[in-house]
C-alpha cells in the first residue's frame, strides 16, 4: 500500500469485529458475546477520520513482545503506528554501514498487516547515536555517514512511510546561536539540515518530510524564543526550497513548564501554516509531576490539560495528524527521566490507557477533542 492511497475514512473500518480478531490473534481471552465499552465506542482513528485527521500511536518491539493487550488497543484505536525507538540511529545502524532492521521491520509489518500506516522516527537526532557518530567527525566523515544512513533507511521503507521525522530537536536557542550544538552541526554547519532533507526526498519522494521539535506550545519567554527560532529556521529552509513539508510538534505536555494560552499556540501554528507547511502533533503525552497525587484528581487535571491543548491545535486546519507517544502507563519514558518523574515516588500516568490497558479520562479527552474539531479536507 502506498501512503498516498490512504483515504480519510480508512479509520472507520476499525470496528469491533476487527478488535476481536486482533485480541484473538494476540492470544487474549475473547468472549464474543460480551463486548466491553471500548468495543462499542468508535475508535480514535474513526473519530479522527471523520474530521479528515489521522490518529496514530507509537509503540515499541519490547511492548509487542511483552504486552499483547497493549498491541490490541493500538491496532484497534490507531490508523498509524510509529516505531518508538527502533529506527533511531543506534538501533538501525549500530556499526558504520551495518544495519539492523529486524525490530523496525517487525513493527512496520505489523502495521501493514492490519491496514495501518507507519511513520518514521527519526533519521537525524543528537540522542540515541552510536559512539562512532559522536563529536570529532571530520566534515567528510559526517557527510558520508549522513548520506549512507538516510539513503539506506528511506529507500528501505519507501512507499511504506506516511512521513519521516528527518531532523529531530534541531533548535536550542540558549548558546551561541539558535541551533542545538550536535555532532552534525559541528561537522557540517547548519547545512546538515538541508542535506538531510534532500537525501530523504531523493530516497522516498512520497513521504511527508518533517522537522520535529518539543517545547513549542507554552506562553513563556523561553518557549517564545524556541518558537521564534523554529520559525526563523523554517523560513530559511522554505526560502532555500528545502523539501520540508511539515513541522512535528511533539506535544510532551508538562503543566510545570508554564501557562498554556491557546491563542499563542494557534498563532504559532498559523505562522507555520503560512509557510505552506502542515503541522503534526507527533508525541502527545503528559508529564504529571506537578498534578495531584490522588489518581482521580490527577487524571481529571491531565485530561483537561490535554483536551484544551488539542482543542487549540485541532482548531487550526494545518494540523493533520495526532500521534500519542505510547499507549499505556505500563510503559513510559517519563519515569525514566529525573527531570520528568514525580518527586513523591508515585508512578506517572502520561497515557490514554492505564497500566492494565483500561481507558482513562485522558482517552475520553482526546476523543472529545477529536469530536469537537472542525472537519478538514482529506488528510495525508
Ligand atoms: O520514549 C523514548 C524512550 O523509550 C527512549 O529511551 C528515548 C531515547 O531514545 O527516547 C524516547 O523518546 C523520545 C523521542 O524519541 C524524541 N522526543 C522525546 C521522546 C521522549 O524522551
Question: For residue 213, how many other CB atoms are within 10 A of its CB?
Answer: 25
- Residues with Cβ within 6 A of ligand 1? 84-85, 88, 127-128, 168, 250, 283, 333
Ligand 1: which residue has its CA nearest to atom 21? 333
- CATH number reported for the structural domain that contains residue 297 in this entry: 3.20.20.80
In a domain, 16, yes or no: no
The grid cell for 58 is: 507509537
Query: How many angstroms does the Cα of residue 333 sit away from the middle of ligand 1?
Result: 6
User: How far is residue 284's CA from residue 253's CA, in Å, rounded to a whole number?
Assistant: 7
In a domain, 218, yes or no: yes
pLDDT tens by residue, 55-83 = 999 999 999 999 999 999 999 999 999 99
To which residue does cell 511527508 refer? 208
- Structurally, the chain folds into a number of domains equal to 1
pLDDT tens by residue, 108-141 = 999 999 999 999 999 999 999 999 998 889 999 9
Ligand 1 mutation pick, 120, 249, 325, 326, max ligand atoms within 8 A of CB = 325
User: How far is residue 121's CA from residue 211's CA, in Å, rounded to a whole number?
Assistant: 11
Closest ligand 1 atom number to CA of residue 88: 9
Question: For residue 5, how many other CB atoms are within 10 A of its CB?
Answer: 9
In a domain, 160, yes or no: yes
Ligand 1 mutation pick, 85, 164, 214, 335, max ligand atoms within 8 A of CB = 85
Domain extent for 49: 21-27+38-372
pLDDT tens by residue, 322-365 = 999 999 999 999 999 999 999 999 999 999 999 999 999 999 99
User: How far is residue 265's CA from residue 83's CA, in Å, rounded to a whole number?
Assistant: 27
In a domain, 58, yes or no: yes
Q: What is the residue-wise DSSP string for 99-162?
A: ---HHHHHHHHHHHHTT-EEEEEEEE-SSS--GGGSTT--HHHHHHHHHHHHHHHHHHTTTTEE
In a domain, 9, yes or no: no
**Pairing state of beta strands 80-83 and 54-59?**
parallel
Ligand 1: which residue has its CA nearest to atom 8? 128
pLDDT at 265 over 70: yes
Closest ligand 1 atom number to CA of residue 337: 21
Give every CB contact of residue 218 below 8 A, 6+ residues apart in sequence: 257, 258, 259, 260, 261, 264
pLDDT tens by residue, 197-251 = 999 999 999 999 999 999 999 999 999 999 999 999 999 999 999 999 999 999 9
Q: Where are the beta strands (DSSP E) in 127-277?
A: 161-168, 208-213, 246-249, 252-253
User: How far is residue 287's CA from residue 105's CA, in Å, rounded to a whole number?
Assistant: 30
In a domain, 15, yes or no: no
Q: What is the residue-wise DSSP string for 18-76?
A: HHHHHHHHTT----TT---HHHHSPPHHHHHHHTT-EEEEEE-HHHHHH-HHHHHHHHH
In a domain, 117, yes or no: yes
Residues annotated as catalytic are: 169, 283
- pLDDT value at position 10? 35
Q: Provide the Cα torsion 81, 333, 359, 374; round to 10°.
A: -60
User: How far is residue 13's CA from residue 16's CA, in Å, rounded to a whole number?
Assistant: 9
In a domain, 206, yes or no: yes
Ligand 1: which residue has its CA nearest to atom 4? 333
Closest ligand 1 atom number to CA of residue 90: 9
Q: Are 353 and 292 in contact (CB under 8 A)?
A: no
Closest ligand 1 atom number to CA of residue 333: 1
- pLDDT value at position 41? 84
pTM: 0.91
Amino acid at each position: 500500500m502506498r501512503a498516498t492511497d490512504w483515504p480519510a475514512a480508512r479509520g472507520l473500518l476499525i470496528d469491533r469485529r476487527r478488535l476481536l480478531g486482533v485480541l484473538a490473534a494476540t492470544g487474549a481471552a475473547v468472549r464474543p458475546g460480551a463486548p466491553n465499552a471500548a468495543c462499542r465506542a468508535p475508535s480514535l482513528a474513526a473519530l479522527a477520520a471523520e474530521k479528515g485527521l489521522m490518529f496514530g500511536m507509537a509503540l515499541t518491539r519490547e511492548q509487542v513482545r511483552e504486552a499483547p493487550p497493549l498491541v490490541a488497543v493500538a491496532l484497534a484505536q490507531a490508523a498509524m503506528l510509529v516505531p518508538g525507538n527502533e529506527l533511531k540511529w543506534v538501533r538501525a545502524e549500530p556499526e558504520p554501514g551495518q544495519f539492523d532492521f529486524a525490530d523496525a521491520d517487525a513493527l512496520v509489518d505489523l502495521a501493514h498487516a492490519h491496514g495501518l500506516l507507519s511513520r518514521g522516527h527519526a533519521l537525524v537526532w543528537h540522542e540515541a547515536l552510536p559512539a562512532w557518530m559522536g563529536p570529532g567527525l571530520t566534515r567528510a566523515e559526517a557527510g558520508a555517514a549522513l548520506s549512507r544512513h538516510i539513503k539506506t533507511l528511506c529507500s528501505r521503507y519507501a512507499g511504506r512511510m506516511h512521513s519521516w521525522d528527518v531532523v529531530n530537536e534541531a533548535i536550542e536557542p540558549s548558546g551561541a546561536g539558535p541551533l542545538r550544538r550536535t555532532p552534525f552541526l559541528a561537522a557540517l554547519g547548519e547545512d546538515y539540515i538541508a542535506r538531510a532533507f534532500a537525501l530523504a526526498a531523493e530516497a522516498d519522494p512520497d513521504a511527508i518530510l518533517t522537522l520535529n521539535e518539543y517545547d513549542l506550545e507554552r506562553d513563556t519567554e523561553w518557549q517564545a524564543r524556541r518558537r521564534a527560532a523554529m520559525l526563523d529556521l523554517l523560513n530559511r529552509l522554505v526560502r532555500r526550497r528545502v523539501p520540508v513539508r511539515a513541522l512535528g510538534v511533539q506535544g510532551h505536555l508538562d503543566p510545570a513548564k508554564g501557562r498554556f494560552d491557546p491563542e499563542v499556540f494557534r498563532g504559532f501554528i498559523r505562522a507555520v501554516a503560512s509557510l505552506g507547511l502542515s503541522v503534526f502533533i507527533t508525541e502527545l503525552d503528559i508529564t504529571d509531576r506537578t498534578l495531584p497525587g490522588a489518581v482521580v484528581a490527577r487524571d481529571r487535571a491531565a485530561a483537561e490539560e490535554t483536551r484544551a491543548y488539542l482543542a487549540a491545535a485541532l482548531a487550526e486546519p494545518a494540523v493533520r495528524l495526532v500521534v500519542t507517544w505510547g499507549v499505556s502507563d505500563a510503559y513510559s519514558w517519563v519515569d525514566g527521566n529525573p527531570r520528568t518523574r514525580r518527586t513523591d515516588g508515585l508512578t506517572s500516568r502520561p497515557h490514554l490507557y492505564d497500566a492494565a490497558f483500561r481507558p482513562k479520562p485522558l482517552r475520553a479527552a482526546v476523543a472529545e477533542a477529536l469530536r469537537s474539531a472542525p472537519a478538514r479536507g482529506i488528510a495525508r
